[in-house]
Structure 1
Amino acid sequence: MLASLTPSSLLLASGLTLHLWDHDCLLHATCPALLYLDPVLCLVSVTVMVASAYSDLVQNGSLLLQAVPPCVDLLGLKQGLNSLCGPGGHHELHVWALAPDQAVASFHLYCTGPEAYQDLLAQAQPLLNRHGVKVFTVQPEFGVSGASGSCTLSCGPACTGHLCCDPREPKIGS
């Protein structure tokens, strides 16, 4: 509040000083300090306004860039997810701030079935809350856990033609 009142107060002080001072002194430049009063107070006002807006600029910039909020321990969150579902049990973890006080996360979770997904989701919620993430989206992937570069969808031969990869292809890197 002080930062928003300062420029107006300085403007009023400058105007009042120049109005109340002897006009002959200003016209004949016998008081050089008064000649620089208005520009100096104007520069002080601009400095106060820029300094007060800097923190908002940084905060809004990190929101626009979808940076990891400073309140979230990303390394601790990754380690917690690794201990919960194994190092290959999740991927695509993204954490960003939706608002200055609201962290959001999304990740993919490998599961053997819907029951396992519900169990892992119930265990993941307190973990995410402990690390400052209150809102999250978990994308389940049913099938083989952590099979990088291969199909992880277990739907059988009936849907083989609809997959993005051929399940008969050898795994990449093997």
Structure 2
Amino acid sequence: MAKTDNSLSLDRGTDHAHHHLGHAGGHSHLTGALFFTLGFAFVEAVAGYFSGSLALLSDAGHMLTDSTALGLAALAAWLAKRPPSPRHTYGLVRLEILAALFNALLMFGLVAFIAVEAIDRFAQPRQVQGGVVTVVAVIGLLVNIGVAWQLSHGEKTLNTRAALLHVMGDMLGSVAALAAGLVIYFTGWMPIDPLLSLLVSGLILVSAWRLLGEALNVLLEAVPGHIDIERVAQDLAAIEGVAAVHDLHIWTLSSGKVALSAHMDVRDFADWPRIMAESRQRLITHHDIGHVTLQPELADSTAARPAHILHPVQH
């Protein structure tokens, strides 16, 4: 029976099994995609302002959020190469999470601005230059296609795949802006501009909400959503020579880098090198957990442990 505990315990004589799960690879592709996306977001914002198109402004905001996502991915790849220091023993990987949190809050502010402006334009429609909107939206769509092609032909890392999903989502914003421009150019129906800007702001809101949740989960050191802590405990407890697993903690250091610490009751300390090696192999193979800290304890000594420390998991 596996046992887990959510308390924090500090013990001496701990064995460490460390496996580096970096974000190496794809850094140059991410940086190039970042400059293309960020540069055109500025162009689109200027065009949206002078053409009077809220759809272009909202799409510029969406491209800005994608630029931030690409920037965070590039930052993660760069930080992964920075060595730890005596003061920052995990390195500076958490800066990525703080930047993501700031980005999410910024996106919420952008969505609020677009929503207020759209409602105002429904009440008082403004003149929009449909031809300008159409041309700029077509260029934006081509830029997004080019960035997606660049990312898809780069190294297949977790960060580049996530960035590619952001860019694919941004294509919808460019298509919405293009549709608004065409409708206004051929029909002169101005409400389509704020209507489609609300659609784009909805895409931004979904991304912002997901990003905020992921950042808060990391800062609160919650168990990553893709990991089943019960199954991890069972896999460790199933190793021959292990009597129980307790004080099990799993948290995220940064995107793609998960850490684990646990105490393992073993029947014979002589078996510990084998148990540790097998534990490390199971964790990296079955759960993609590479930063592991394990503490062995003699199973016979668990009877003397205070009852409040152990909390058995019911199966």
TM-score range, shorter chain: 0.5 to 0.7
1:84 partner SS: coil
TM (normalized to structure 2)?
A: 0.35
Higher relative contact order (CA 8 A, sep 6+): 2
- In angstroms, what is the RMSD of aligned CA positions? 3.7
- Name the residue aligned to 1:13: 48
- Name the residue aligned to 1:95: 250
CA 112–82 in structure 1, closer or farther in 2 if over 3 Å, else same: closer
2:288 to 132, 145, 161: 132
**Alpha-carbon separation, structure 2, partners of 1:69 and 1:116:** 30
Q: Which structure's residues are more often helix, by fraction?
A: 2
**Alpha-carbon separation, structure 1, partners of 2:51 and 2:246:** 65
For residues 1-174 of structure 1, the aligned pairs below 5 Å read 9=44, 12-17=47-52, 33-34=125-126, 40=194, 44=198, 47=201, 49-84=204-239, 88-111=243-266, 114-129=269-284, 130-142=286-298, 144=300, 146-147=302-303, 149=305
- CA deviation after TM superposition for structure 1 residue 112, in Å: 5.0
- Name the residue aligned to 1:156: none
- Name the residue aligned to 1:172: none
Residues 13-44 of structure 1: per-residue CA shift (max 9 Å, x gap): 342249xxxxxxxxxxxxx522797x949x74
CA 49–8 in structure 1, closer or farther in 2 if over 3 Å, else same: farther
Q: Which structure's residues are more often strand, by fraction?
A: 1
Q: Which consecutive residues of structure 1, in runs of 5 or more, have no partner in the other structure?
A: 19-31, 151-174
1:89 partner SS: strand
TM (normalized to structure 1)?
A: 0.58
Identity of aligned residues (%): 22
CA contact (8 A) 1:7 1:46 kept: no
2:248 partner SS: strand
2:44 maps to amino acid: S
CA 40–148 in structure 1, closer or farther in 2 if over 3 Å, else same: farther
- CA deviation after TM superposition for structure 1 residue 143, in Å: 5.9
- CA deviation after TM superposition for structure 1 residue 52, in Å: 3.8
**Which structure's CA Rg is the greater one?**
1
Residues 96-141 of structure 1: per-residue CA shift (max 9 Å, x gap): 1111211111001223554322121011111111122111100122
How many residue pairs were aligned? 135
- CA deviation after TM superposition for structure 1 residue 71, in Å: 2.5
CA 131–142 in structure 1, closer or farther in 2 if over 3 Å, else same: same
2:47 maps to amino acid: L
**Alpha-carbon separation, structure 2, partners of 1:91 and 1:133:** 17
1:147 partner SS: helix
2:257 maps to amino acid: Q
